[in-house]
Structure 1
């Protein structure tokens, strides 16, 4: 046995409370090294009644196998250890180390323990996450619904955007296009920032308590939320707390008065007076017009959290996406979560973290993050074709084991956004690559999110090219792609296995194969990204018939168990 590969860490992604009476326990071994992993567990104060169960291998990556067992008990004061078998040899993995024999009479000295599931410690995510299909709107580029509030010197809607150009998109424009979104099938909208700001993107806030006048006013936002809720659509807003605009009144006061300003400690300034060339204060990136806020300052916290209370309570906002969330102190985010969840536990909190976000996803800060690691994998597999199906599977497994099950269920999965090239652009305009990626996105665990216009074939390079005005001339739409997206969204909302199912992988080098299982329902997702036909033999012995959900064909398993997948094709096979 390769004992150096063995790993279990209690109170982590390897051992956590999924519900108030349910623990999920994971164990890692070297790949293909162990024949059987068992968990011995019991109530700590009646250890003589302990139980032994075999753990299920749930995922494998390039180097490791991962096992899981879910403990459901009325009393959560649990002790446990592991038995590993390879051939005729076995060892025990305990908190005290690896041993050949385990003395149960002294178990309390050596087993791992989960002392108690305190309900307040359980990472509870909103109940609606698995039902929701999101759509991201860059507000200034979606639709101009009220020309009276437009900026001067507007660019023509069809022009290519420049960094500082304005096109007039607003909240009224979204209201007028809600029927389009309802017909598309989405039931969640994530809006880029809408608060007062001098820029087109609004990520440099001047007033956290005012809707940008070019976008509308409070009555417009209230109407948007109410109309959306009537259609069953949730609204998530973007909160920018890492930094503000250099036109933010407290920063202007500091620029005028220096250290004498009451707001001096709201920022990070390296001298008694503010200097701008070069800036002598901390900022977002190297952007001098976006000074960084000191979120550990009590007054700053009160100001920002009060703004969150104002918009959430008065406008029934369904969630917040948090910009540059990994550069803000954890203490602030813990207070932020308490603030939000005290108002409504069903409000979702989504961070913008591009890398491993586990420290923010332990139940005391965010519900989930924008899943950019999956975005990058999709680009490498579907668009750039740098990795094969098996490598794609291994990388997904590594990401899934990184977080708890409830976090994976709540992740915001996306192919592109306002901060990336459009996916179709990276594909070299190969629509079939985008379709394969979308087929994966809508069948994967988590909340799928479509960036405005991707569904009609919009393309564009990195900012500002990815922020072009939505193409409302239907003659220029890719209707076949749009219909495909509608089909995927419909299936995602209708099929319980796609919404709630457990996930496993069976890929070959040429065919990506993902299995989603919920109760007695199974859907196999088969994706062939190669330029050649590929085959796969279904081995679901308990299933009798197969229906391909994307094209509606069906057949009997006894007559045909080997599936031929044409080049650049995705299948959703429902096994009954």
Structure 2
């Protein structure tokens, strides 16, 4: 450590045995040192380990002389690996306090600190995770580890063993990782988050337990229960920082820390990993062919209508207002997507349906004719593939339309739908309510209008498919015994099933709508993965997973490859000053330190492969637009005031910077790159504005059909070409620095105001260690092409200083606002308000 030179780590390992013996403390496992040297060196040199966010606490046995002689991370690693001084330094018969009181400020566990948890983050099957917890010296009578496997399930308890007694609690402050001063602001104890570190004279005990994660993919929850007679507390994840430092609560309150267990050698889709994704709501992106718009058509009991381009979507949403966007329009705008670095397109549903969102599908194998039909999708796939752009479809396999041929609630189809008759061949494809004297819109055993059905989220237009039914499973997953029912499907899928049949047509993979819905039986998505990966090993599987518990269950390596990472959205918008969605644990205007901890907590929850593939989105069709949230003011009028919009757009550039330059798959919701705003559904589904670069042969807004003309756009809603230019700059930087698609990010410093700073500095190094996601580190070598990124989310300029070491030269590559120049972190730089600056290491 110290100056971070490699020789220092090697020397520390080499002298361990002699140092311990010299201080009269022989170690039981000293003979194993040579086998562990590589691990210890990796931990020592620059603290280059995953998920480290707070200075490790040394947990030695008593023997003050050697405690000072060894690097604290080495001592922590030795103890956690089962090494310790010969004999029992803690007398089991020693008297504990037994006073029915606990010194709660001294109790501590930190899942990202290797002194408390080895191995950190997600682990592979067969791993033993060593856990330690700190209490006041001779304070706790019992410490129990509570394990819930799977996460959220019933728990079992096992006692922890006291392995150290009388350790100075404040030893944490003696780390030499910040000796040169660069990391002082990040590593300094926070009196609010970490009040125990304010206690400099207290003594502590250390307790140890372990978890054998087993041989199957799973997610495990754990917490500690600590007692001294009638005094009992629960030490658990604080549910604010997402893992990391825990908090004390009454014994029956608090959430668990999580350990995700993945298969050995698990990898997510390389096609998706680090890709730039572009999400498109097809009806609103571009209208290349007004002739397929369709005009007024029946929709359930209403009428669908065609709305002029640029008109604000109807509120409340009924899904009846169509704007005429189509797949040929997307094809014609592919050069625009290339300009912002897009490698993958994710399309909201495209199959035949009755609404503009198309989550109420009629036929899984027929593309809606209003989008151009199957032929238009094939044209788009061919054009995209020529530009090395993959196309992912939205798989809505949970429910269909109540107006579909197989359900036919309104009797509009020649088939005998499930709602029409108990003898329908599709009757068992759905889930029926079975109460005495039931009434409902469908035929039942007692005649017409005597049966109800299960509908997704109680929307009666969306009857839920029965995924326990063999025919439904065959429809989706395939069945070697025969083709899916031809009366439902416009094109037979053979024994491939819908999911694999579309892969055969050139689709790259699937985003799975409402993936965690309880109607999917246990094992369904594991079967889906096996079937899909057998057909195309690189096919991406993206889950719609809003709830952390669902993500832990389905992102462990045997179901989805990635999720739509709304946790990233919440963290970024809160840090930049936006208002997260209701229910998020973030508050607005978070400090840089809290933002860093939040991102590290997200990474800690997932295998590295998942983190790289996760869609780092800022918004989607299900949320308000990021620009809307980042712009001050109330309502549309307030947010379109020029002064407010200027602030919002400056913040949007910072959000895009973190999207493109942090680990994951940056996911741009159509129009974000040109300043499209909007409140939540349906306002988040506005039409894409016309660009000067659009093909001259098509206006892409439906002009020229029946005299229809687009509604003029006010200046506040016109395409922002300067914002587009910044996205294009980020895309060029990302393309020129391929290591940005990798996992490792170094959080280097925060601004001069320390714990309250809104300014941060991180690096993306070509020499990052494989498998690492996030660390706090000043050490390590610099390579030409490495990037440093400063972001100031605050409303005023802030000083930022960081010592890269001798002989490291930086060149400013880009900044989101203002003129270039004004120094760099090596000599100190004043980062302007709401500005991002990017430097590159040069010869």
Tell me which interval the TM-score lies in, with the shorter structure as reference length.
0.7 to 0.9
Q: Confirm or deny that 1:100 pairs with 2:291.
A: no
Equivalent residue, structure 2, for 1:380: 574
Question: Which residue, out of 461, 477, 487, partners 1:289?
Answer: 461
Matched residues in 2 for 1:25 and 1:281: separation?
A: 52
Question: Which residue, out of 425, 432, 441, partners 1:262?
Answer: 425
Question: Which residue, out of 489, 498, 501, partners 1:310?
Answer: 501
Cα 1:26/1:318, change in 2 over 3 Å: same
Equivalent residue, structure 2, for 1:169: 325
Matched residues in 2 for 1:160 and 1:408: separation?
A: 36
Max radius of gyration: which structure?
A: 2
Q: Confirm or deny that 1:483 pairs with 2:725.
A: yes
Question: Which residue, out of 382, 386, 395, partners 1:226?
Answer: 382
Measured after TM superposition, the shift of residue 41 of structure 1 is 10
Question: Which residue, out of 602, 612, 632, partners 1:399?
Answer: 602
Question: Which residue, out of 290, 303, 323, partners 1:147?
Answer: 290
Q: Which moved more, 1:515-524 or 1:463-472?
A: 515-524
Equivalent residue, structure 1, for 2:703: none
Q: Confirm or deny that 1:423 pairs with 2:423.
A: no
Cα 1:222/1:566, change in 2 over 3 Å: same
Asked if structure 2 preserves the Cα contact closer than 8 Å seen for 1:38 and 1:83, the reply is no
Matched residues in 2 for 1:515 and 1:543: separation?
A: 17
Cα 1:387/1:30, change in 2 over 3 Å: closer
- Equivalent residue runs for 1:102-141 within 5 Å: 121-141=264-284
Matched residues in 1 for 2:463 and 2:162: separation?
A: 56
Asked if structure 1 preserves the Cα contact closer than 8 Å seen for 2:431 and 2:466, the reply is yes
After superposition, give the CA deviation of every residue in 1:59-98 in whole Å (9 maximum; x if it has no partner).
xx99653348889xxxx98778689999xxxxxx999844
User: Please, what TM-score do these two structures have when normalized by structure 2?
Assistant: 0.56
Question: Which residue, out of 794, 816, 826, partners 1:530?
Answer: 794
Measured after TM superposition, the shift of residue 261 of structure 1 is 3.3
After superposition, give the CA deviation of every residue in 1:513-565 in whole Å (9 maximum; x if it has no partner).
333333154423221111111112112226611122214968998x9422221
Q: Confirm or deny that 1:38 pairs with 2:72.
A: no
Matched residues in 1 for 2:465 and 2:281: separation?
A: 24
Equivalent residue, structure 1, for 2:112: 65
Question: Which residue, out of 758, 764, 771, partners 1:516?
Answer: 764
Matched residues in 2 for 1:256 and 1:205: separation?
A: 18
Residue 518 of structure 1 aligns to a residue in which SS? Answer: coil
Matched residues in 2 for 1:425 and 1:185: separation?
A: 24
Asked if structure 2 preserves the Cα contact closer than 8 Å seen for 1:31 and 1:65, the reply is no
Measured after TM superposition, the shift of residue 282 of structure 1 is 2.0
Residue 251 of structure 1 aligns to a residue in which SS? Answer: coil
Q: Confirm or deny that 1:320 pairs with 2:510.
A: yes
Measured after TM superposition, the shift of residue 370 of structure 1 is 0.1
Equivalent residue, structure 1, for 2:205: none
After superposition, give the CA deviation of every residue in 1:115-158 in whole Å (9 maximum; x if it has no partner).
88999753221223345111111001111112221120421112
Asked if structure 2 preserves the Cα contact closer than 8 Å seen for 1:195 and 1:209, the reply is yes
Return 5+ residue gaps in structure 2 as ranges.
1-47, 59-71, 84-107, 136-143, 146-157, 165-208, 218-261, 297-305, 409-416, 442-448, 478-496, 580-587, 632-644, 693-714, 768-781
Question: Which residue, out of 516, 539, 542, partners 1:350?
Answer: 542
Cα 1:239/1:111, change in 2 over 3 Å: closer
Return 5+ residue gaps in structure 1 as ranges.
1-23, 48-60, 87-92, 102-109
After superposition, give the CA deviation of every residue in 1:327-355 in whole Å (9 maximum; x if it has no partner).
13342111111111001111100000112
Matched residues in 1 for 2:128 and 2:109: separation?
A: 31
Matched residues in 2 for 1:431 and 1:29: separation?
A: 31
Asked if structure 2 preserves the Cα contact closer than 8 Å seen for 1:39 and 1:81, the reply is no
Measured after TM superposition, the shift of residue 191 of structure 1 is 0.5
Indicate the RMSD between aligned Cα atoms, in angstroms. Answer: 3.8
Residue 337 of structure 2 aligns to a residue in which SS? Answer: helix
Matched residues in 1 for 2:49 and 2:827: separation?
A: 35
Measured after TM superposition, the shift of residue 168 of structure 1 is 0.6
Asked if structure 2 preserves the Cα contact closer than 8 Å seen for 1:131 and 1:493, the reply is no
Matched residues in 2 for 1:215 and 1:526: separation?
A: 43
Asked if structure 2 preserves the Cα contact closer than 8 Å seen for 1:29 and 1:64, the reply is no
Cα 1:170/1:230, change in 2 over 3 Å: same
Asked if structure 1 preserves the Cα contact closer than 8 Å seen for 2:272 and 2:613, the reply is yes
Matched residues in 1 for 2:51 and 2:727: separation?
A: 38
Cα 1:38/1:169, change in 2 over 3 Å: same
Q: Confirm or deny that 1:335 pairs with 2:527.
A: yes
Number of residue pairs matched by the alignment:
521
Residue 358 of structure 1 aligns to a residue in which SS? Answer: helix
Q: Confirm or deny that 1:189 pairs with 2:352.
A: no
Asked if structure 1 preserves the Cα contact closer than 8 Å seen for 2:440 and 2:451, the reply is yes
- Equivalent residue runs for 1:463-474 within 5 Å: 463-474=681-692
Cα 1:41/1:398, change in 2 over 3 Å: closer
Question: Which residue, out of 834, 838, 841, partners 1:568?
Answer: 834
Matched residues in 2 for 1:490 and 1:401: separation?
A: 29
Matched residues in 2 for 1:458 and 1:183: separation?
A: 18
Matched residues in 1 for 2:439 and 2:608: separation?
A: 47
Equivalent residue, structure 1, for 2:585: none
Going by fraction, where is strand more abundant, 1 or 2? 1
Matched residues in 2 for 1:242 and 1:459: separation?
A: 30
Cα 1:39/1:242, change in 2 over 3 Å: farther
Question: Which residue, out of 444, 457, 477, partners 2:662?
Answer: 444
Question: Which residue, out of 408, 422, 432, partners 2:650?
Answer: 432
Equivalent residue, structure 2, for 1:359: 553
After superposition, give the CA deviation of every residue in 1:272-299 in whole Å (9 maximum; x if it has no partner).
8771499932222121101112222221
Matched residues in 1 for 2:691 and 2:295: separation?
A: 24
Measured after TM superposition, the shift of residue 204 of structure 1 is 0.7
Matched residues in 1 for 2:397 and 2:130: separation?
A: 44
